[in-house]
Amino acid sequence: MRKHFILSTRTLVSKRNVTQSFGSDNTIIVPMAVVDEIQKTYAMQNSERGKIARETLEYLWSFDFKELMKGVVQENKSILRVTTNYYNIELDETVKKTQLDSLDTRILQTCKGVMSEVPKDEPVILVSKNVALRMKAKILGIEAQSFRDELLPEISEQYTGRMTLDVPDSYIDEFYAQKKLDKNKVVPEEKRQDVYENMFIQMEGTHKSAIGRIEKGFIVPLTFGNVHPYSVIPKNVGQRFMIEALSMDEECAPLVIFKGPAGTAKTFLSLAVGLQKVVEEKKFPNNILISRSPTETGERLGFLPGDEQEKLDPYLRGIRDNIQNLLKPNDAEVTAEVYKNKKGSKQFADYEKPTSEDGSYFFASGNIKVEAISYIRGRSICDTFIIIDEAQNLTASEIKTIITRVGTGTKLVIIGDPEQIDRPELSERDNGLSYASERFKGEPRCWQITLTEDESVRSELAKIASRIL
């Protein structure tokens, strides 16, 4: 059965080739007013969305406009139309009395006009990310939905990379004795389809417990279970799982994804392992590269003077805070043993010692480099330990751009909290962090872990605020 989809502005610039995402037996209709809005609002933006807007406009321009008005067959065999018709369609007074701008009016008129032309058994569906517009469409009897292709499961149903199992103590004894345990012995049959390679397992017996990870059908012990990167001692099971994923060789685990609330030491441990690898073990010749979306919370800072590093500095104060905590022997959030003030066997000179103030030495020496997300496109980054912080504020297209830039010898760590999104066009179900997590679920070279609220090591006040506010 043919369906007729009318696309709104933000839907059309939400991803590349969006007009070919609706199946071969459908018709995709774009009001000319939407094309105008894309040109006016998005095409000049120096962003991923702006790039998609320009590509979309070029794609539409690649067709003869008269043919496009009639309907052209796309590569996936669906039909694409641009229409300027239906401007004389009268809308219900109930809708007209709402705050209905000219663009929304033209979109709703197009929906009503198409409905009057197509057979009754062929649905006409408005596809929009604008909730208010979808509600107005419903008032007019128009079926409306968000762009489903980009929507991921609810956050409670997203992949966590971990599983807790209740098992007999005898199985835990077998696990410790044999250094492995057949997963089918302890994973209930109804849960086996949800168990993936590299998934972390926590086994709880009556009097005993054990942790491990999935490897080729078995639960095996952690390889780096007793490792303390940069002298950091993990405080809970989630942090032990993070150290395992971070410490694993980049050929085995080139991509690591951490999700979870603030205070679970995602960034802290990533920096600790990165510095351990770069400074102590002399791995990753191109050092640590840190980047994040320059997204502000609350009021915007406005124009920032200076070069690239100076412009990015306000967005990276959290990174400096974490380095400062690394250099403190008894930090309140994550305990560190005595900081080893050495670089291999060579002592630092007094003037170049890492300071306990902000760790500026690591930036000055080049051990840690900072770069804007927008400058990563077009590069092939080799032999580098990359940390992408606050990834929940990236789009799916932006996260794809980053992952496809990873070259040989590089380890990429993507960090964020899907419940703390600062970009209004993103949500828990369509941000870059969750997108990467779901798409890489089950990929052997991707290691993931989602931290829980009770694994946060923040102050009691911060925990209480997170729970009740």
Packing angle, helices 432-439 and 396-403, rounded to 10: 60
Reply yes or no on whether the pLDDT at 342 is more than 50.
Answer: no
Reply yes or no on whether the pLDDT at 304 is more than 80.
Answer: no
Does residue 416 sit within a domain?
A: yes
Q: Which residues pair with 413 in a beta bridge?
A: 256, 387
Reply yes or no on whether the pLDDT at 339 is more than 70.
Answer: no
Residues 247, 216: one domain? no
Reply yes or no on whether the pLDDT at 81 is more than 60.
Answer: yes
Which residue, of 135, 150, 165, is where some domain finishes? 150
Residues 286, 385: one domain? yes
Q: Confidence class of residue 15 from pLDDT cuts 50, 70 and 90?
A: confident
Q: pLDDT, tens digit, for every residue of 181-217?
A: 999 999 999 999 999 999 999 999 999 999 999 999 9
Mean pLDDT value across the chain: 86
- Res 207: pLDDT: 95
Residues 81, 205: one domain? no
Reply yes or no on whether the pLDDT at 365 is more than 50.
Answer: yes
Residues 335, 397: one domain? yes
Q: What is the CATH number of the domain that holds 238?
A: 3.40.50.300
Does residue 256 sit within a domain?
A: yes
- Please tell me the pTM assigned to this model: 0.76
Residues 116, 243: one domain? no
- Res 307: pLDDT: 60
Q: What is the CATH number of the domain that holds 42?
A: 3.40.50.1010
Identify the domain containing residue 333 by its residue range: 231-468
Token reading at 302:
């406005």
Residues 13, 58: one domain? yes
Does residue 433 sit within a domain?
A: yes
Residues 317, 239: one domain? yes
Read off the pLDDT of each residue in 315-323 and give the average, rounded to a whole number. 77
Residues 216, 345: one domain? no
Reply yes or no on whether the pLDDT at 147 is more than 80.
Answer: yes
Q: For residues 91-119, b (16+ Cβ closer than 10 Å) or e, as one string?
A: beeebeeeeeeebbbbbbbbbbbbbeeee
Does residue 196 sit within a domain?
A: yes
Which residue, of 120, 150, 180, is where some domain finishes? 150
Residues 166, 291: one domain? no
- Res 427: pLDDT: 84
- Res 151: pLDDT: 65
Higher pLDDT, 242 or 359: 242
- Res 110: pLDDT: 96
Does residue 178 sit within a domain?
A: yes
SS3 content of the chain, % helix, strand, coil (to 5): 40, 15, 45
Q: Confidence class of residue 356 from pLDDT cuts 50, 70 and 90?
A: very low
Tell me which amino acid residue 364 is: A
CA distance 271 to 287: 11
Higher pLDDT, 357 or 172: 172
Which 8-state DSSP code applies to residue 91? P
Residues 116, 53: one domain? yes
Does residue 226 sit within a domain?
A: no
Q: Count the domains in the chain.
A: 3
Percent pLDDT > 70 in the chain is 87
- Residue of 316, 420, 303, 434 lying closest to 368 (CA atoms): 316
Residues 397, 450: one domain? yes
Find the helix or strand (DSSP H, E) in which 81 lies.
strand 79-83
Does residue 198 sit within a domain?
A: yes
- Res 353: pLDDT: 44
Q: Confidence class of residue 349 from pLDDT cuts 50, 70 and 90?
A: very low
Which residue, of 118, 150, 182, is where some domain finishes? 150
Residues 410, 459: one domain? yes
